[in-house]
Amino acid sequence: MKITLTTLTLVFGLLRFANGQTVTDNPSTIPVWTEADRKYLLDNLTRSKDELLAETKNLTKAQWNFKESTDRWSISQIVEHICLWEVAMEDQISTSLRIGPIPGFTDYRPDSVFIDKDINRLNKTLTTEYSKPFTFGVPLGNNEGQNNVIWYTTMTNESISFLKTTDANLRVHYIYFTANIHQRYMAFFQHTLRHVAQIREVKKHPKYPK
């Protein structure tokens, strides 16, 4: 046990040195996750879920599977993609919670760094650019559209339930020593809203089934 603790101490010390941060025992420098933060996440997760459900309500099979072109995603694939990314982000959050809080970490970033400034998709991006060298974010399109909605709703409801009840200081649980859990949840609803905009683009196509 002594060797393990020593090793962990050395590793954490190297991480601090590499990132140029210092450790402080001053409580005033420790970020705090507030009730306003909780409400902000809950309101936006609920809003993004409601918008996605509204855009996918009562779609026919032809509407679910329509593609603007062979290289574009159907609405079903778009929702599947959201689910794939949420699985990856939920894994990051659960890992961060298992590691535990790191209140002494001082190289934290403001929320403004994690705001998606292109949520309306003025600039298109490739999913594989974010997942190199893997393609886990690319939907296979094998699921029925409504099953993808159930998948998405299940995960989002779990996140909402967690955020409603947790007493953890999510501002001092970090993911790769960059975003904290609060900021990672900002990515959840921003990512969903970005793809809700994509769904609306598909539905505006002149050949979209009526």
Q: What is the pLDDT of residue 10?
A: 32
CB 82 within 8 A of CB 194: no
Peptide bond into 101 cis (omega under 30): no
Give the pLDDT confidence of 39-48 residue by residue, as tens digits. 999 999 999 9
* Confidence at residue 167, expressed as pLDDT on a 0 to 100 scale: 97
Report phi then psi at 175, rounded to 5. -120, 110
Report, as an integer, the average pLDDT of 172-177.
Answer: 95
How many CA atoms lie within 13 Å of 186's alpha carbon, on the beta-carbon side? Answer: 18
* Class of the CATH-defined domain 33-203: mainly alpha
Higher pLDDT, 21 or 190: 190
Q: Domain map of the chain by residue range?
A: 33-203
Using alpha carbons only, give the angle 139, 141, 145 rounded to the nearest 5 degrees. Answer: 110
Evaluate if pTM is beyond 0.75: yes
Distance CA 90, CA 181 (A): 10
DSSP state, residue 28: G
Nearest Cα to Cα of residue 172 among 6, 37, 39, 56: 37
